[in-house]
Structure 1
Amino acid sequence: MAYWQAVFIDRDGTIGGTGRFLHPRDFVLFPGAQESINSLKRAGLKVFAFTNQNRISRGAATVEEFISQFNTYGFDDSFICPHGKYEGCNCRKPKPGMLFAAAEKYGLDLSRCVVIGDVGDTDMLAAHFAGAKKVLVRTGWGEGSLSVDRDKWKEVEPDFIASDINEAVKWVLERNS
């Protein structure tokens, strides 16, 4: 039986892109990212997109365009915060609202879930607040999260620091029994 119930994966800078907003039609996965997502699914894990996309609230893209993109990659569901930084929602990372919504919808024990992301002061803090495992990738904003911006999340340590999504998924799968 698998130990992990689900893996939440950030989009920009984690599975592809640059770390900055890219419209779904312009977004390109990193080499091996699709196979890594497929590997998680073959292992029987739920795989969820977990992303802040404030450009939705500004009309640059729609929630439906993101959901369609994530469906194409094989994600089981998408948890997307469309709100701007100052809109006061409970879903925008570092708040753990998207993780709590997924836990409620799918009956998850978040201590048996993993968050993979590239930003310490959003992805890692949300995971920490929800009690999930934290895997930081060095792609996207990852290197900066570990150096220049480390003071923004200094109370939290990632459970693993991976070079990229492929190494992160390998770590998850090695600990899945």
Structure 2
Amino acid sequence: MATRRDIRDGVARFFGGATYDSTARIYRPTPLVASGLAGVRPYWTTRFQDQDYTATLADGRGMGGVMSIHIANDSERRIALGGPTGGFKSRPVALELWVWHMARTPATEDAQADLDDLLDAIVERIHTDRTLGGAVVEAGESQRGIQRATAAVPQEEPGTPPTVRQEAVISLDATVYPQA
């Protein structure tokens, strides 16, 4: 049976790659390094370090993102077929892929465009394997589909060039079928 920890870690590996940095507690380099995803954590952290946003990305790339996997909720329901021990369980899981993006650029618009491109690349990766590398049976196939939202107006910090911070979330349902 897939535990919450199994699901969270499997999804983090799908987006973050096979290499886990146990000191930083992050998967990197990611399969989406060319799109600016520098690392993926299976759990929240209090704050990513600035170097996390561009670690493993191409030299000179002044912007990038990091992701954390959040399970907003999950439920379990048994569908009985042929008696008390027959049937199967359906377990929908509400996944949220939180993305924090940092850019050192004079144009806030460039930072926003880079985040848009990264969100598109993440969704395209979901389309390539709806099992998210085997972490779930299907993802993004419910009526809710795959939703993208930016969580706030970009925040600009002074500097040369300025630092622009943004966050976004990709929400989708995933399903696992534990043994009945």
Asked if TM exceeds 0.5, the reply is no
Identify, as 1 or 2, the structure richer in strand: 2
Q: What TM-score do you get using the length of structure 2 for normalisation?
A: 0.32
Q: What TM-score do you get using the length of structure 1 for normalisation?
A: 0.33
Identify, as 1 or 2, the structure richer in helix: 1
Give the number of the structure with larger relative contact order, counting CA–CA contacts within 8 Å between residues 6 or more apart: 1
